[in-house]
Every structure is written in C-alpha cells, then in structure tokens.
Amino acid sequence: MLHSEAASETLARNGDDNITVVMHRGHVFSQIRRFVIVKEMRNFVYACPITTYSGRGTAKPGCDPSEHAIVYFSGSTPQLVREENEKSIELQKEPIGVNPADTSLRMHPASRIRFGKAYPIEWNVKVKDIGDVLPADRTRLWRYYLEGLRPTDD
C-alpha cells in the first residue's frame, strides 16, 4: 500500500523525491510498503510492517532484532543476510512463511516483520494482495503480535 508518515528533518533537507511539503511547512515521506495483517476489526485492520532496512535486515543500527522475524515466500528458504551474519545476529522468532498471491511476486531475502509496531489500516485504503500467511505459521504470527504489544521493562 502507499504509506505516508512524517519525514525526518534529514530526509526533508536531502530533497528525496518521496518527500512532500504539506500544511504548515511539514514534510511527509511516502513509499509503497508491505504489511502483514494480524487482526481484523470492524472498519480497519491492525498490521505489522514488513521492511528490509535497505537490505541490511536487523543489522541496521538502532534496530532491535528481538522485535523481528524473517518473512519469506513459500518455495524459498528463510535466511539471515550477510550483514546479520557479520554481526552474529540471531533472530529469536521463527520465520513466517507466506503463500504468494501471484507466482511473479518476489520477497527480498532481508524482509523482516516488525512486531514491535502495529499500524491501524482503514478498509478503504487501496492495497495489493501479496499472499496469505501459511496456515502452520498463523498461531506463531498471532503470538508474536501479542508479545509485541507488551510494554518492555526498560
């Protein structure tokens, strides 16, 4: 789906093509973003974002690997990316598989579901179906989502 959020000052200054100036000289960053739906409500869903962190997986500075799981299309093998291996990152959560809606779709090997941040998405938002979570992984997906809702003791 097309996803927009407030842009950092750094992004705004760099003149990124995905930045739009909005009311009160605010800046918004927009991009196509993938999500996995974890809970359906009456007029919206809760969804966790899927991101590659620019191909670095959870090796991106500031990223908490404990909030993430690998997400992959069935028929491929879930794996850590080079940067994660170099930093000896071990993901505690088991991978989540997805049956692709179309065999031409690809999932980048660095794709990770972030369970530490869920987004409400209205029913009237235009989205593209990328597939369904494998039935064997749905209970685990739900458990990881619930764990992500719990506040940490930090």
- pLDDT band at 12, cuts 50/70/90? low
Average pLDDT on 2-14 reads: 64
Residue pLDDT, tens place only, 44-77 = 999 999 999 999 999 999 999 999 999 999 999 9
**Domains with residue ranges and CATH for the chain:** 1-32 (no CATH), 34-149 (2.30.30)
pLDDT on residue 11: 56
Q: Could you report the per-residue pLDDT of 111-143, keeping only the tens digit for each?
A: 999 999 999 999 998 889 999 999 999 999 999
- Run of H or E residues at 49: strand 44-51
| The token pair that represents 29 in the structure block | 């960053």
Dihedral-angle region of residue 19 (phi above 0 means left; psi in -120 to 50 means alpha; beta otherwise)? beta
Which pLDDT band holds residue 154 (cuts at 50, 70, 90)? low
Whole-number pLDDT of residue 150: 79
Q: What is the pTM of this model?
A: 0.84
CB atoms within 10 A of CB 5: 11
Least-confidence region, from 19-23, 80-84, 145-149: 19-23
Query: Would the CA dihedral through 147, 149, 151, 154 be positive or negative?
Result: positive
Q: Which residue has the higher pLDDT, 116 or 24?
A: 116
